[in-house]
Amino acid sequence: YTDGTRQRVVSGENWKLNVDGPIRTNNEYDGEEYDATKELKGWNNIGYNDAAWMRPELVNAPAGYLSAQMSEPMKVMKSVKPVSIKKSTNGFIIDAGRNIAGWLQIKVHGKKGQPIKLNFAESLQKDGSLYIANLRDAKVTDIYTCKGSGDEVWHPTFVYHGFRYIEISGLNYTPTINDFDVQVVYDALSSTSTFSTSNSTINSIYQNAWWGIAANYKGMPVDCPQRNERQPWLGDRSTGAYGESFLFANQNLYAKWLNDIHEAQTDEGAIPDVAPAFWNYYTDNMTWPGTYLMVADMLYNQYGDKQSLTYHYPFMKKWMYYMKSKYMKNNLIARDKYGDWCVPPESLELIHAKDSLLNTNGELIASAYYYYFLKLMQKFAIVANHQQDVQEYQTLASSIQHAFNAKFYNASKKYYANNSITSNLLPLAFDMVEEANKEAVFNNIYNKIKIDNHMHSSTGVIGTQWLMRTLTKFQRSDIAYTLASNKTYPSWGYMVEQGATTIWELWNGNTADPKMNSQNHVMLLGDLLVWLHENVAGIKSDNQEVAFKKIIMKPENIDGLNFVNASYNSVYGTIKSSWKKTTQQFNWNI
């Protein structure tokens, strides 16, 4: 106070507690139940009668420590008006127009105690009812109980849903679209890009990617917003975080996630496939835990975040030594959990391919990635001022490269392992192939795409992370463009043609078993967004003067693509690249 005295207002035995408020239940997977008849009036005014309130019980504080949240909070970032409302068997079905993550704000009226139920789904069945099989055992249901005082406006507070369609039941009148507001909830990250081309399919894929990424920013990058999962799988974001950085200012989110990953690391050095490790998946493979290194690399390259890289360097090194000491034999690692996850199967009804020629050897994947991570660790050691480690990384990398080529390279046929695209793609992308063999190995990728796959890809989560850039590196951006603009299965455009408004978990997400056909995932984007910005628009950071302090601008001149308009808000300012071509000219404004 002004006289220098001080009064502390703290919780303690004199505080009171009321557990009989309007929010009756809430659970992220199941929904929120709100009874408006239980709303408390005047509790925040002087003279309120709190005689019926309970005294709290004093208990020990929980373990751990509180720290400030350094990343942006979840907020209502957009509002979308529904596009239609139709009568259904149980009530009315509202179409939000696209797949989103958030909730529905309702304006309703009813009698006191009248329950209004909201059920959410991503799509409809053929009879027009909600399709909920892919939600598994998540209830995704909100219930609002009316207080009976005219128009009542409500939305949940402690849950969000992934949905396009909502069935509202319990009304005794016909509502209108104006009674509802679809509120889109995601981390309050600013959008950092604009992007459009002369190809409408690519434009739709780009928009679907934006909405899918936004839907899965929830204080950490989760895999999906709708079913009983919603977990921060590392493998979904290894290259994904890189592509996302062009669309959203995601530096704080991913710097925070690196801390989550480090805190989930065991004393021995293991890193889980999911972090924070709510799901206890410590399977010790290379590709999912290795996202720890790839996200640190993204933060440094895109944002100049040297601090995160320096802080996490010893923990990344610890993981590398852990995997080497436990699993390396004859300079190779035969430890892989997921393979090239979700390659497009030979049948639209399958979840996973059964054809062995589509799948990639796990030892090849793990060993190639360990080699790649050693290359990253050489870079990190210099940035983090641990130059004494570089020689050890270089020596081991050389030994792995030799053992890798000796085991997997077929010298007579010029391909690796079983000649799957990913088998050849990884050693090319990671520069493991002898110079004299590179063109021949790439030709096997070209032939596989052109002849066997009829100008479609056959890569899963792993291969797709390197596909578009490697094709372009070997002067075949035309093939990359075909893959990006395809409309038939398997392709991103196929999803668009089937009415998708986000990216699916599976290339055949509309036909595969419901247990695994999330219609809002981002893991299959691979390096598409990176390729669109760096190679198609021509906006790329230099590898030495990072974070766009020096900009490399080199757009690909692709037949069939007539113009590109793009911009990116880098940490040094906005970069714009717009080009247009005719038969006579190539005009480029930068």
Q: Give the confidence band of 410 by pLDDT, cuts at 50, 70, 90.
A: very high
Over the stretch 252-280, which tens digit does the pLDDT of each residue have?
A: 999 999 999 999 999 999 999 999 999 99
Average pLDDT, the chain: 96
Does 13 have pLDDT greater than 90?
no
Q: Give the confidence band of 453 by pLDDT, cuts at 50, 70, 90.
A: very high
Give the per-residue pLDDT at 11.
80
Burial class (CB in 10 A: 0-12, 13-18, 19+), 532: buried
Dihedral Cα 567, 571, 573, 576, nearest 10 deg:
-20
Give the per-residue pLDDT at 547.
98
Total-model pTM: 0.96
Give the per-residue pLDDT at 347.
87
Give the per-residue pLDDT at 515.
75
Q: What's the distance, Cα to Cα, between the start and end of the chain in Å? A: 59
Calculate the alpha carbon distances from 335 to 266, 281, 425 in Å.
18, 15, 19
How many Å apart are CA 139 and CA 134, to the nearest integer?
11
Give the per-residue pLDDT at 513.
80
Alpha-helix runs per DSSP H in 283-414: 291-303, 306-327, 362-383, 390-408
Does 305 have pLDDT greater than 80?
yes
Does 424 have pLDDT greater than 90?
yes
Over the stretch 458-515, which tens digit does the pLDDT of each residue have?
A: 999 999 999 999 999 999 999 999 999 999 999 999 999 999 999 999 999 999 987 7
Over the stretch 312-362, which tens digit does the pLDDT of each residue have?
A: 999 999 999 999 999 999 999 999 999 999 999 988 889 889 888 899 999
Query: Above pLDDT 90, what percent of the chain?
Result: 92
Per-residue tokens: 536: 């198609």
Tally the C-alpha atoms within 13 A of residue 366's C-alpha that lie toward its C-beta.
23
Q: What share of the chain is helix, strand, coil (3-state, %, to 5)?
A: 35, 20, 45
Give the per-residue pLDDT at 58.
83
Over the stretch 516-529, which tens digit does the pLDDT of each residue have?
A: 889 999 999 999 99
Calculate the alpha carbon distances from 230 to 192, 290, 291 in Å.
25, 20, 18
Query: Above pLDDT 70, what percent of the chain?
Result: 100
Q: Letter for the amino acid at 127? A: D
